A and B are shown apart, each in its own frame.
Chain A
C-alpha cells in the first residue's frame, strides 16, 4: 500500500532527475523514462483503485502515514500521506490523463530542440500534482501547490523565445501568487487557532468547535483564495487563457485536466470545515465564473482560447457545486471533465499540428490556431473529428455522456439548494445559462473547425493529414472514457449518476456547520434544513445502490456527535428527499433543453447559415464587443492593478530617490558641515592652543637660554650671586 503510493509519487521525481540531467545523452531524449514512470504509476493507481475501492469498498477508508518533520517543545509538525477514497480516485485521474498526454507529447513535440527538457518538466509536474493529491497536511499541500505553480510556469513559458509565452508564464505565476498569499493566510489562521495543519486533525478540531463562527468562515474563504488562483476563478481568471501559449499537451494536462482541478480538489478536501457563509461565497464565485467565462468563450476565434474559457466555466461549475453542498457532483464533474477536456485539448493539438504543417507548406504566416483559418477538417482528420465530437457532446451535457451525468448532478444540486434557500435563485440561473452557452460555443467551434471548406485554399488542404498514432490513441482513450457507460455501472441508468459507482463511492459528507449546529439549541431555519439536506443527499446517493452492502448513510463523525435521529421526522425526510428528486428531474429537463437550444442556435448560425453571425454580432452591440474583448478584464487590470503597481513603484522610486536618498545625502552633508567646523576648530583652536603652548615654551626657552652660556665660570658666577642673595636675605 505505502510502497505503491510511494512508488507512484517518487517514480515521477526520479524520472525528472534522470531526464533533466542525462536526457540529452539517453536515446530518444529520455522520453521513455518519463513514459515508463507514468504508465507504471497508472498501473499502480489502477491496482489501488481496484483493490481498495471496487473489491473492499469502505466509505471511511483512510490510511494515514505520518512522520515528524520538525518538533519543538510540545509541538510536532508532521508530514505524510493521507490516502482515502478521494485521493485514490484523483491518483487514477492524474496518472491516467498524464499518461495519455505524455504519449501524445511524443508525437506533438517531435523535433523540438528542447524535447528532452519538456519530458523532464512533465515528470516534475506529475510529481508535484501527485504530491498535492497525497498530502495529509496543509503545509505539504502548500509546498506541492507551489511546485505545481512552478512547473506550470516552466511549461507555459516553454517556448520562451516567444515574448508572449514568456509573458504568459510570468502572468500565470504572479496571478497565482495573489491567490496563494490568501491561502497562506488561511493556513496561518488554522495553525494559530488549531495548532495543527493535519487535515484530519483540522476537521476534528472544527468538529470539536475549537474554530468556529466568523473566524471559521474567514479561514475557509482565505484557503479558498488559493483555489481561486489555481482554478482560475473570477477575479483571478485572467492567467488561464494566456497560459494557452504553452505547448498544447501542457494545456491539456495542466490547464484543463489536472492542475486547475487542484483548486477544486482542495476545496473538496476542506469541504467538511466550510461554514454556510463561506460556502455561499464559494458558490457565488463559482456560479459567476461559470456564466462569465462562457460568455467570453462564445466570441473567441482562437481554438485553444475557446477551450480555455470553457475550462474556466467548467471549473466554475465544480466550485459552485461544492459551494452549494453538492460534494459528489462537484468531484464527479472534476473527474469527467478531466477526461473530455483533456480529449478536447489534445484534439485541438492534433488540429493545430496539422494546420501548422499545412500552412507552413504554403508559406503562409496565418495563425494555425485561428478557427477562421480552418474548416472542413473532418475529411482529413476523421479520428480527431469523431473523438472531438464525443468530447464536445460530453462537455455540452448531451444525454448519454459522462458530462451529462456530472453536469446534471451539479445543476440538480444547485437547484435543490436554491429551492431550500429561495434567496439564492441566482445560482441555478448561472448554471443553466452557462449550460446553454457551453453547448453553443462548443458546437460553434466544431462547425468552424471541422465542417465547410478549408479556408486557406486547395494547395494547403492537400497537406492536411491525420496525426500519428501516438497522438490519436490518447484521443480515443479519453473519448471512450467520456461516455456515460463508465460512470453508471453497476446500476445502469443513463439519466442519473445516482446509483452509478461514482455516486456510491463518494457520498456527500456533512459539513462543520451542519454537525456543530446540532449542539446549539436555537437552530436557524435554513441551517437546519441544510443539515438535513446534507444527510438526505448522502442517503439519496446510496439508496439506489441495490447490490452494494448499504454503507452507513451518515458520516462517522456525524454519528459520533449526538445527533438525535428522532429530530428528523419521517415526514421531513420524505419531503426533503422529494425536493431533491423534484430538483433533479427539473434540472435534467432544463439542462437538456438548454443544451439543445445552444446546439440548435450554433447549428443555425454556423452550419445551416439561417442566422448570420455577423448580423447578430452587430445587433448585440456592446454586449458582443464585451464578450470579444473578454469583458476588458485584461485592460481593467492593466489600468488598475498593473498601472497602480507601476504608479506605486514610481512613487516609491521617487521616495527612495528624494526622501530616503535625501536623508542619506542630508546626513552626509551634515557630516561634511560638522567635519568642516571640526576641522576649523582643530586647525585654529586645538592647534592654536598647542602652538600657543609651544610658543610660550619657546619664549621661555629663549629667555632661559640666555643663562646657558656653556661657560663654567659664568655658572659659578650665577651661583655666587644667588648664594650672595641668600646670605643677604639671611642676614637681613
Chain B
C-alpha cells in the first residue's frame, strides 16, 4: 500500500468524522469542532500531496494558511455563537433558523 494512500484515507476519515459531527451534534461548539476537524483533514491532504507528489512547498504553505484561517474562523464563529446565545439563550444550532423561508 502506497504511503500516500494511507494519509489520504486518514484524511478522509477525519473529514467524515468532522462532517458527521456537524450534521449530528446540536451544540454549536461541537459543530465548530467538526468544522475544525474537516479543515485539518484538508490540511493533512495538502501536506501529503506536497510530500509525495510535487516536491515543492506550496502544499505545506497552504496547510499553514488553513491553520491560520481556522484560528480566525474559530474566533468569528465563537463571536457569532455568543451573539446567538444572547439572542436566543441557547447554543442549539437548530434554534438558529431565523432565515427560514
Contacts and interface: CB of A to CB of B under 8 A. Distances in A.
B100 interface: yes
B23 interface: yes
Interface stretch (A575-583, A627-635, A712-720): A712-720
A717 B22 CA distance: 10
Interface residues on A, range: 10 to 19
Given A716-B19, A716-B22, A717-B23, A709 B97 contact: yes
B68 to A, nearest CB: 24
Interface string A694-728: 00000001001100111111001100100000000
Contacts, number: 33
A710 B95 CA distance: 9
Nearest to B98: A710
Most buried by A among B23, B24, B31: B23
B96 interface: yes
B99 A710 contact: yes
Given A711-B93, A712-B31, A720 B101 contact: no
Nearest to B99: A710
A701 B101 CA distance: 9
Contacts of B31: 712
Interface string B53-78: 00000000000000000000000000
A659 to B, nearest CB: 65
A710 B23 contact: no
Contact of B22 (A701, A704, A705, A713): A713
B101 A716 contact: no
A720 B23 CA distance: 10
Contacts of B97: 709-711
Interface string A670-709: 0000000000000000000000000000000100110011
Interface residues of B, number: 13
B93 A720 contact: no
A713 B23 contact: yes
Contacts of A710: 96-101
A202 B38 CA distance: 117
A684 B38 CA distance: 56
Nearest to B97: A710
A708 B31 CA distance: 19
Contact of A705 (B19, B93, B96, B101): B101
A631 to B, nearest CB: 104
B101 A708 contact: yes
Interface string A108-123: 0000000000000000
B100 A708 contact: yes
B83 to A, nearest CB: 16
A142 to B, nearest CB: 90
Main secondary structure of the interface of A (DSSP, over half): helix
A704 B100 CA distance: 11
B92 to A, nearest CB: 10
B101 A712 contact: no
Contacts of B24: 713
Nearest to B26: A713
A722 to B, nearest CB: 14
Contacts of B94: 711, 713
B22 A712 contact: yes
Contacts of A716: 19, 22-23
A711 B98 CA distance: 9
Interface in B32-48: none
Interface in B18-32: 19, 22-24, 31
Contacts of A711: 93-94, 96-97
A720 B99 contact: no
A711 B101 CA distance: 11
Contacts of A720: 19, 23
Contacts of A713: 22-24, 93-94
Nearest to A707: B101
Contacts of B96: 710-712
A701 B22 CA distance: 28
B85 to A, nearest CB: 16
Contacts of A712: 22, 31, 93, 96
A703 to B, nearest CB: 10
Contacts of A705: 101
A332 to B, nearest CB: 116
B78 to A, nearest CB: 16
A709 B100 contact: yes
Contacts of B101: 701, 704-705, 708, 710
Contacts of A708: 99-101
Most buried by A among B19, B93, B101: B101
Contacts of A704: 101
A716 B94 CA distance: 13
Nearest to A702: B101
A615 B7 CA distance: 158
Contacts of A709: 97, 100
A229 B22 CA distance: 115
B93 to A, nearest CB: 6
11 contacts: A710-B100, A711-B93, A711-B94, A712-B22, A712-B31, A712-B93, A713-B22, A713-B24, A713-B93, A716-B22, A720-B19
Interface of A: 701, 704-705, 708-713, 716-717, 720
Given A708-B101, A711-B93, A717-B23, 5 more contacts: A709-B100, A710-B96, A711-B94, A716-B23, A720-B19
Interface of B: 19, 22-24, 31, 93-94, 96-101
Question: 5 closest A-B pairs (Cβ-Cβ)?
Answer: A710-B97, A705-B101, A710-B100, A708-B101, A710-B99
